Structure 1
Amino acid sequence: MSIKVTAVFDIGRTNKKFFLFDSDFQEVYREYSRFDEITDEDGYPTENLNALENWAKAVFDKMLNNPEFEIIALNFSCYGASLVHLDENGNVLAPLYNYMKPLKDEIYDSFYDTYGPESELSRVTGSPKLGMLNTGMHLYWMKHTKPAVYDKIKYSLHLPQYLSYLFTGVPVSEFTSIGCHTLLWDFEKKDYHAWVYQEGINEKLPPIASSRKTIPVTYNGKSIQMGAGIHDSSSALLPYIRSISKPFVLVSTGTWSISINPFNKGMLSAEDIENDSLFNMRIDGSPVRVSRLFLGNEYKLQVKALSKYFKVPEDSHKKVKFNQDTFFEVNKDFVPMFKWSSIASETMPEKTKITYTKFEHAYHQLMLELVLLQEKSIRSAIGNEKIERLYVDGGFSDNEVYIQMLSHYLRNMKLSTTDSSLGSALGAAIVISDVTLEPKFLRKNYSLKKHRPLTLK
């Protein structure tokens, strides 16, 4: 007898994943793929959208005919800040432009001269000036530099909604994509910002649909409930939101460490924006306060340099265990030692100067300096709210030195780590279900582990 399952495409920049989850949200099947990037008309690397489409349809068709499973629902979790432009016949008009593609200064000058000041626009839209990472700026760029293409656009869809469109044929917009530092949404007015209407860009954006709702679609003769898609960061947050009743901050660690506060009640200040805070959006359109830190990227660069300096293997950092005596030693007469390569900090020296003779001591110093930046980022996400619970997932959740130091500096908070490698995919499955998650969901599904702060000597 076949198992009834929910299918999810979880599309990252590098890995393209397909999952099947049973009624208890347990993974019963997964499939991964990767594609080589192609280039756009300017030679800049970009996603091979055609390869992604062909793979998605081939995988889904294959699993739809697998007698072990009965797919009853399908949803999509994807990286954000990326748009697919369609003409009136549903044909793709342009490459899936890379959100790191640089824009010329005259684009910014033209935009902010017309709609500025930058600080106020950033504040009300929760969107720092991030170039193509602001999909509103992407559309402004298209209109003013590629008018022949822009004029043919019937709809511009964020990537999760485009994948949904591939299977449903129904173009929609959706809150978590609209509200992800796009520069499009006015969080005070709870509507698109005035500049969007003045430019007529709203006409290129299809009607907003709830990420909770599904469309019944007959696909290859089978009736399947299909979702509108969801932004991956917002999706990863959902299992926590649905199973935890008290306010919390989630720190999702990796190349970027993203501190997420879904219990924010106020607007961002100009100072918040300067401190790299921004808004994401929950599925109901309410703001999620987010603070970013380029933690994993900086960590990778610094441990490589440390390994070279001490003439040890490059994976030596993985073997370092937290040592309380070493921690107190480097903390006793603490002076910042590392000059960051990809993080701006007022306290860093003009150049890195290692004063230790042992790799383990220098590593503890490095982690101490990074954790102090992390603490500041978390407090920025908390703002003025009273929040006592902190969850850490992602790559640093099993870094003992990071977790022990973080629990020390945030000893007023209850810190727990989770193993949520399926987080965004699970969220996409959960959002289109009507299941209420039990309080023990994280413990059962996410290997929840509580941590206690150091006992001070």
Structure 2
Amino acid sequence: MKQKVTAIFDIGKTNKKFFLFDNKYKEVYREYTSFEEIEDEDGYPTENLAALQTWLKEVFYRVLKSEEFTIKAINFSTYGASFVHIDENGNPLTPLYNYTKEIDSDLQDGFYNKYKPELEITRTTGSPKSGLLNSGMQLYWLKHTKPEIFKKIKYSLHLPQYLSFVFSGIPVSEYTSIGCHTSLWNYETKDYHNWVYKEGINKILPPIVSTETSINMNYNGTRIKVGVGIHDSSSALLPYVRSVKKPFVLVSTGTWSIALNPFSDGPLTVDETEAGCINYMRINGKPVKSSRLFLGNEYKLQVEELSKNFHVDKDYHKNIEFDYDVYFEIIKEFKYCFKWKSITDENMPNKTSYSYNLFEHAYHQLMIELVQLQVQGIKRIADTQQIDRLYVDGGFTDNDLYIKLLSYYLRGMKLRTTKASLGSALGAAIAISDSKLNSKFLKKNYALKKHVPFIVK
């Protein structure tokens, strides 16, 4: 008998992944691919949308014919800040513009001058000025620099919703894509921001549906639920929201470390906005207060330099464990030693300077300073007296110093690490499922581990 499965396409900037999950959310099949980037009309590298679309259909129809599996549902998790602009026949009109592409600063300044004050639009949309990383700015840029193309747009679809459209033919918008620092959504009025209406951009944005919506389709006699897609950060958060009943903060670590508080009510304050906080959105349209730290990037740059200075192997840092005596020695007469390369912080010195003779000591100093920045980011988005649960996933869960220091500095919180390599894919599967998750879900599926803070001797 064929196994019933949910199919998920999890599309990252580099890796394109396809998963099949059984009804207990266990992975039963996976497939990875990647594509060479192509160039847009300005020669800027961008996603090969045609190749992606061909691969999606090839994989889907191959599994559909399989003797082993019956696909009951399909959904899509992708990176954000990306639009596909389609004409009345559903064909893309432009390349999938890369969110790192720079646009004319005069155009951007003109936008904030027209809809000023900048701080207020940043606060109400939860989106600091970031060029095309605010995907709403892409629509404004297209309207004012490529009016002939803009006139032909029937719908602008966020990338997850475009992938859904490829299979369903039905254009929709949904909350998690609208809410990921797009500058489109006003978190106070719970509607598109007034600039969207003034520019007439609302006319090319399809109707908003719940992220849990699915469309019943018939493929070769097989009935399949087609999900409407979900933004990857919100998707990775979903298994926690569904299975943990008490308020918590999730810190998702990697190149960026993103601290997420899904229990924040209302828009950002002026202070939070000035401190660099942003909003994401839950699948029900509620805000998720977040702070970003370029943790993994800064760590990589600093460790490379330390390794050269101390003449140790580039992977030496991976095996260092927390040493209480070294920590105590450093904090006895603590001073900041590292000048950051990709982070700005008021405490950092004008240049990196330390007097340690051992790599281990300098490395402990580095981690103390980085974790202090992480703690500040967490405290910016959550009252750690009120919220006492902290989940950490991603690459830094394997860093002994990071976890021990974080649990010590936030010792009023219960810290747990999880291994969530399937995070966003699993979230996309859960989004279109009717089944309830219980508190044991993270333990079973995410290798949940508790951490106790060390005690000062």
| TMscore range, shorter length | over 0.9
Partner in structure 2 of residue 71 of structure 1: 71
Cα distance in 2 between the residues matched to 1:363 and 1:59: 46
The corresponding residue for 1:449 is 449
> What is the aligned partner in structure 1 of residue 170 from structure 2?
170
Moved more, 416-425 or 376-385: 376-385
Residues of 2 paired with 1:221 and 1:45: CA distance?
Answer: 40
Contact 1:211 1:228 in 2 (8 A): yes
Q: How does 1:117-136 map to 2 (within 5 A)?
A: 117-136=117-136
Sort the Cα spacing of 1:385 and 1:91 in 2 relative to 1 into closer, same or farther, 3 A. Answer: farther
**Where does structure 1 differ by over 3 angstroms across 4 or more consecutive aligned residues?**
none
- Deviation at residue 385 of structure 1 after TM alignment: 7.5
- State the match for 1:408 in structure 2: 408
1:151 is paired with a residue whose SS is: helix
| Mapped partners of 2:171, 2:72: distance in 1 | 21
State the secondary structure of the residue aligned to 1:142.
helix
**1:180 aligned partner:** 180
> CA 1:214–1:126 in 2, change beyond 3 Å: closer, same or farther?
same
What is the CA–CA distance in structure 2 between the aligned matches of 1:32 and 1:115, rounded to whole Å? 43
Which amino acid in 2 is paired with 1:128?
P
Q: Is 1:371 the equivalent of 2:371?
A: yes
Which one-letter code corresponds to 2:57 in the other structure?
A: K
- Matched AA of 1:378: I
Q: Report deviation, 1:319.
A: 1.1
| Residue pairs, 1:83-162, within 5 angstroms | 83-162=83-162
Residues 61-116 of structure 1, C-alpha deviation per residue, up to 9 Å, x if partnerless? Answer: 11111111110000000000100000111111111111111121111221011111
Instruction: List per-residue Cα deviations over 1:206-240 (Å, max 9, x = no partner).
Output: 00111112101112432110000000010111110
Shift of 1:42: 1.1
Aligned residue type for 2:87: D
Aligned-partner Cα distance in 2 for 1:97–1:271: 32
Contact conserved, 2:187 with 2:266, CA < 8 A, in 1?
no
Match for residue 190 of structure 1?
A: 190
Residues 5, 22 of structure 1: 8 Å contact kept: yes
Report SS of the residue matched to 2:208.
coil
Aligned to 1:236: 236
- 1:245 maps to what in 2? 245
Amino acid at match of 1:231: H
Partner residue in 2 for 1:389: 389
Contact kept? 2:280, 2:290, Cα under 8 Å = yes
What is the one-letter code of the residue matched to 1:130?
A: S
Question: CA contact under 8 A between 1:184 and 1:192: conserved in structure 2?
Answer: yes
| Secondary structure at 1:116 match in 2 | coil
SS for the counterpart of 2:391 is strand
Number of aligned residue pairs: 457
Following superposition, the deviation at residue 274 of structure 1 comes to 2.0
1:364 maps to amino acid: H
Percentage identity across paired residues of the two chains: 63
> How far does residue 50 in structure 1 lie from its aligned partner after superposition?
1.1
- Matched residue of 1:75: which SS? strand
Q: Distance in 2 between matches of 1:335 and 1:36?
A: 46
Query: Offset of 1:52 from its aligned partner?
Result: 0.9
- Report the 3-state secondary structure (helix = DSSP H, G, I; strand = E; otherwise coil) of the residue aligned with 2:258: strand
Which residue number in structure 2 is paired with residue 214 of structure 1? 214
Provide the rounded CA distance (Å) in 2 between the counterparts of 1:92 and 1:265: 37
| 1:56 counterpart = 2:60 | no
Does the aligned pair in 1 maintain the 2:102–2:132 contact within 8 Å? Answer: yes
User: How far apart, in 1, do the equivalents of 2:266 and 2:154 lie?
Assistant: 35
CA-atom RMSD in angstroms: 1.0
Asked whether the equivalents of residues 180 and 281 of structure 1 are also in contact (C-alpha less than 8 Å), the reply is yes
The 3-state SS of whatever aligns with 1:72 is strand
Query: Matched residues in 2 for 1:156 and 1:239: separation?
Result: 29
The C-alpha deviation readout for 1:110-131, integer Å capped at 9, x for no partner, is: 1011111110001111111111
| Mapped pair 1:203 → 2:211 | no
1:330 Cα deviation (Å)?
1.6
Cα shift at 1:384: 8.1
For residues 96 and 289 of structure 1, what CA distance do their matches in structure 2 show?
A: 28
Q: What is aligned with 2:4?
A: 4
Partner Cα separation in structure 2 for residue 12 and residue 106 of structure 1 = 31
* Range 440-449 or range 208-217, more displaced: 208-217
Return the TM-score normalized by structure 2.
Answer: 0.99
SS in 1 for 2:152: coil
TM-superposed deviation, 1:300: 0.8
Hey, what's the Cα distance between the residues in 1 that align with 2:280 and 2:261?
A: 10
Deviations 1:246-273 (A, max 9, x none): 0000000001000000000232112212
CA 108–312 in structure 1, closer or farther in 2 if over 3 Å, else same: same
The two structures have a TM-score, normalised by structure 1, of: 0.99
For the 8 Å contact 2:264–2:288, the answer to whether it is kept is: yes
Letter in 1 for 2:5: V
| Equivalence for 2:346 | 346
2-side partners of 1:351 and 1:131: how far apart?
30
Residue 209 of structure 2 aligns to a residue whose secondary structure is coil
Instruction: Answer yes or no: is the 8 Å Cα contact 2:264–2:287 preserved in 1.
Output: yes
Residue 324 of structure 1: how far off its partner (Å): 1.1
CA contact (8 A) 2:188 2:266 kept: no
In 2, the alpha carbon distance for the partners of 1:97 and 1:371 equals: 35
Describe the superposition over 1:387-425 as per-residue Cα deviations: whole angstroms up to 9, x where unpaired: 000000000011111000000100010000000010110
CA distance in 2, matches of 1:152, 1:266: 36
Please tell me the residue identity of whatever aligns with 1:363. Answer: Y
What residue in structure 2 maps to residue 258 of structure 1? 258
Q: Deviations over 1:315-372 (max 9, x none)?
A: 1111111111111112221111111111111111111113211111111111111000
The amino acid that maps onto 2:109 is: D
Please give the alpha-carbon distance, in whole angstroms, between the structure 2 residues aligned to 1:187 and 1:383: 20
- Name the CA distance, whole Å, in 1 between partners of 2:214 and 2:105: 42
- Would you say the 8 A contact 2:123–2:267 is kept in 1? yes
Please list, as runs of the form range in 1=range in 2, the aligned pairs for 1:305-320 lying within 5 A after superposition.
305-320=305-320
SS, match of residue 28 in structure 1: strand
Q: Is the 8 A contact 1:294 1:343 kept in 2?
A: yes
**AA paired with 1:102?**
E
One-letter amino acid of the counterpart of residue 455, structure 1: I
Larger mean Cα displacement after TM superposition, 369-378 or 38-47: 38-47
Corresponding letter in the other structure for 2:273: I
Question: For the structure 1 residues 315 and 384, does the alpha-carbon distance in structure 2 shift closer, same or farther, using more than 3 Å as the test?
Answer: closer
Shift in Å, 1:171 = 0.5
The offset of 1:383, in angstroms, is 4.8
| 8 A Cα contact 1:264 1:385, kept in partner | no
